[in-house]
């Protein structure tokens, strides 16, 4: 049996054909010189890689080197590797002698099935249509030929605002217990920092699984204790509770520690056994085999320069306070809290990402490619493949809607409805002009005004565009926001 080379995002048992298969693991220091990663992300990746090496013992060759190429010079035998997760890594492994590249693993659906599905469609690709295809193809939440419950999506039932009292009544997940490997990684990162390698964000206890065992334990806990509450509150934001009922499994999926097919099966079983309501189960499955797979596939299906799309001509660079996660420089309560969450944990859930961070960057006209890099490096679960779709295709509307029907832009009213932020803010979500003007509300109108010719005149945008035409103070709002520029709000 050939030796399987596992990248640091291919660490779970489902990346091997046999439990006893010989393995190659490489830790490259150059990876951490190329980019400024969040310190907790660097810790998680290295911890996961070294834990896997320790688990495998003599079954694995574990090499630490400056570059992958230097490490590979020490290996003489032929190698296999599963399809890597970035274009750069794929080109690298394809170029190597003695390395066979196998199909991708770690997703519910295959690249070939997606390509067949997408080739047969005209116009924009939509997640909803792909999700139906994937559910039917894999027989997930199906009853005969129909979706269980008679509907493909229960999204409309999953939009409860933030729970009153500042806390969701749900069991908190157990945090992983750090061990000697974690301590060794932390000491190495301290040393690397002294040698000049830079990291962003604050150091902190490891909150995300670094082994398949830890990932499976978190999945089981989620299915048993948190899934039921996940659905209704999946879009809510709370300043006092960043986790709500989210699974906190995205980093484990993206490190390859946990097979998403196992999570989907587990969620379906929870529903069929009466352990969780259909709306929650369907919502979770849509996130995992709908959104996650869809975003993965679009990274490979669209042409390589999709990554640098900038159809709204957004020309401003990300400001230093954003790069540095300087939440203390920001007065706007929502943005300060969310940016602080990234600084302190390297993680906030999908709505703060999309409707606070992405929304703000879109309104300010920041360069989408820089934002892809920022999300990739600052989030524990960030990778180029996932942030390209999330940023270019979704949050920044930088490709004019190849996978969405409208820009994900909103004013303070949305944040006010879905969170507890606005009560404690120096701004007022209803005001667009003057000292108390909410930067999201004012930024929303300024964005629509500036980008009016490129915004689709479809049903989802019609009301907003009609309102825009009626604003008597629009010029003053646009001038105010121009002056605010990229300063911290």
Smallest separation, CB 283 to ligand SF4 (Å)? 25
- Determine, following the binding rule CB under 6 A, whether residue 439 of this chain makes contact with ligand SF4: yes
Instruction: Give the DSSP H/E element, type plus range, for residue 82.
Output: strand 79-82
- Determine, following the binding rule CB under 6 A, whether residue 332 of this chain makes contact with ligand SF4: yes
Give, as ranges, the residues between 90 and 149 that touch ligand SF4 (CB under 6 A).
Answer: none
3-state helix, strand, coil in the chain (%, to 5): 55, 10, 40
- Determine, following the binding rule CB under 6 A, whether residue 416 of this chain makes contact with ligand SF4: yes
Rank residues 212 and 418 by Cβ distance to ligand SF4 and give the closer one. Answer: 418
Smallest separation, CB 432 to ligand SF4 (Å)? 10
With vertex at residue 80, the alpha carbon angle to CA 42 and CA 296, rounded to the nearest 5 degrees, is 55
Q: Which of 283, 340, 401, 412 binds ligand SF4 (CB under 6 A)?
A: 412
Smallest separation, CB 425 to ligand SF4 (Å)? 3
For residue 83, the tally of other CB atoms under 10 A from its CB is 17
Rank residues 235 and 381 by Cβ distance to ligand SF4 and give the closer one. Answer: 235
- How many binding residues for ligand SF4 (CB under 6 A)? 15
Q: Which of 7, 322, 397, 421 binds ligand SF4 (CB under 6 A)?
A: 421
- Determine, following the binding rule CB under 6 A, whether residue 415 of this chain makes contact with ligand SF4: yes
| CA 285/CA 440 separation, integer angstroms | 31
- Determine, following the binding rule CB under 6 A, whether residue 348 of this chain makes contact with ligand SF4: no
Q: Are strands 142-143 and 146-147 parallel, antiparallel or unpaired?
A: antiparallel
- Determine, following the binding rule CB under 6 A, whether residue 334 of this chain makes contact with ligand SF4: yes
Rank residues 78 and 434 by Cβ distance to ligand SF4 and give the closer one. Answer: 434
| Tokens 């006092």 -> residue | 240
Smallest separation, CB 90 to ligand SF4 (Å)? 40
Tokens of 89: 């890594």
Q: Which stretch binds ligand SF4 (CB under 6 A): 270-278, 389-397, 432-440, 468-476?
A: 432-440
How many helices and strands, by DSSP H and E, does the chain display? 23, 9
Smallest separation, CB 452 to ligand SF4 (Å)? 23
Instruction: Give the DSSP H/E element, type plus range, for residue 462.
Output: helix 459-470
Q: Say if residues 50 and 27 touch (Cβ distance below 8 Å).
A: yes
Smallest separation, CB 467 to ligand SF4 (Å)? 18
Tokens of 225: 């204790």
3-state SS, residue 124: coil
Rank residues 28 and 416 by Cβ distance to ligand SF4 and give the closer one. Answer: 416
Rank residues 327 and 422 by Cβ distance to ligand SF4 and give the closer one. Answer: 422
Interhelix angle 180-194/39-56, nearest 10 degrees: 130
Give, as ranges, the residues between 243 and 262 that touch ligand SF4 (CB under 6 A).
Answer: none
Q: Which of 259, 487, 233, 212 is nearest to 364 (CA)?
A: 487
Smallest separation, CB 438 to ligand SF4 (Å)? 3
Q: Which stretch binds ligand SF4 (CB under 6 A): 61-69, 145-153, 413-421, 451-459?
A: 413-421
| CA 30/CA 32 separation, integer angstroms | 5
Q: Which of 394, 422, 446, 478 binds ligand SF4 (CB under 6 A)?
A: 422
Q: Which of 68, 440, 444, 445 binds ligand SF4 (CB under 6 A)?
A: 440
- Determine, following the binding rule CB under 6 A, whether residue 429 of this chain makes contact with ligand SF4: yes
Displacement of CA 190 from its chain's centroid (Å): 27
- How many Cα atoms within 13 Å fall on the side-chain side of residue 298? 26
Q: Say if residues 291 and 127 touch (Cβ distance below 8 Å).
A: yes
Smallest separation, CB 12 to ligand SF4 (Å)? 39
- DSSP bridge pairs for 37: 199
Rank residues 40 and 416 by Cβ distance to ligand SF4 and give the closer one. Answer: 416
Give, as ranges, the residues between 291 and 320 that touch ligand SF4 (CB under 6 A).
Answer: none
DSSP string for 6-64: E-TT--SGGG-SSTT--EEEEEESHHHHHS-EEHHHHHHHHHHHHHHHHHHGGGEEEEE
- Determine, following the binding rule CB under 6 A, whether residue 427 of this chain makes contact with ligand SF4: yes
Smallest separation, CB 47 to ligand SF4 (Å)? 35
Residues contributing to the site for ligand SF4 (CB under 6 A): 332-334, 412, 415-416, 421-422, 425, 427-429, 438-440
């Amino acid at each position: 049996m050939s030796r399987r080379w596992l990248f640091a995002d291919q660490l779970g048992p489902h990346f091997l054909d046999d439990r006893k298969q010989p393995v190659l693991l490489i830790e490259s220091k150059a990876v951490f010189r190329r980019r400024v990663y969040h310190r907790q992300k660097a810790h998680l990746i290295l911890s996961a890689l070294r834990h896997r090496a320790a688990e495998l013992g003599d079954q694995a060759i574990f090499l630490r080197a400056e570059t992958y190429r230097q490490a590979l010079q020490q290996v003489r035998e032929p190698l296999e590797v599963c399809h890597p997760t970035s274009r750069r890594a794929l080109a690298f492994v394809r170029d190597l002698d003695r390395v066979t590249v196998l199909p991708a693993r770690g997703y519910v659906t295959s690249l070939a099935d997606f390509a067949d599905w997408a080739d047969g469609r005209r116009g924009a690709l939509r997640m909803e249509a792909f999700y139906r295809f994937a559910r039917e193809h894999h027989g997930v939440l199906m009853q005969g030929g129909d979706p269980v419950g008679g509907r493909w999506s229960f999204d409309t039932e999953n939009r409860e605002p933030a729970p009153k009292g500042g806390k969701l009544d749900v069991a908190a997940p157990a945090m992983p217990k750090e061990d000697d490997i974690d301590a060794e990684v932390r000491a190495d990162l301290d040393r690397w920092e002294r040698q000049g390698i830079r990291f962003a964000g604050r150091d902190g206890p490891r909150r995300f699984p670094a082994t398949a065992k830890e990932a499976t334990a978190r999945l089981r806990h989620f299915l048993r204790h948190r899934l039921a509450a996940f659905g209704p509150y999946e879009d809510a934001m709370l300043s006092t509770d960043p986790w709500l009922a989210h699974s906190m499994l995205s980093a484990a999926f993206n490190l390859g520690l946990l097979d998403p097919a196992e999570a989907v099966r587990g969620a379906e079983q929870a529903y069929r056994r009466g352990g969780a309501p259909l709306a929650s189960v369907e919502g979770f499955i849509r996130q995992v085999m709908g959104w996650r797979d869809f975003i993965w596939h679009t990274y490979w299906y669209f042409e390589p320069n999709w990554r640098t799309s900038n159809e709204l001509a957004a020309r401003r660079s990300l400001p230093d306070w954003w790069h540095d996660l300087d939440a203390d420089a920001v007065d706007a309560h929502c943005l300060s809290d969310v940016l602080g969450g990234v600084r302190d944990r390297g993680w906030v859930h999908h709505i703060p990402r999309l409707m606070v961070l992405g929304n703000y960057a879109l309104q300010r006209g920041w360069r989408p490619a820089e934002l892809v890099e920022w999300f990739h490096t600052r989030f524990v679960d960030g990778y180029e493949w996932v942030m390209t779709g999330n940023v270019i295709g979704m949050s920044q509307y930088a490709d004019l809607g190849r996978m969405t029907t409208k820009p994900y832009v909103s004013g303070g009213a949305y944040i006010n409805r879905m969170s507890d932020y606005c009560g404690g803010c120096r701004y007022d979500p209803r005001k667009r002009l003057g000292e108390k003007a909410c930067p999201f509300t004012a930024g929303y109108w300024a964005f629509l005004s500036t980008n009016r010719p490129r915004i689709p005149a479809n049903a989802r945008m019609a009301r907003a565009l009609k309102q825009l035409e009626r604003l008597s103070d629009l010029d003053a709002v646009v001038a105010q926001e121009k002056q605010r520029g990229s300063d911290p709000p």
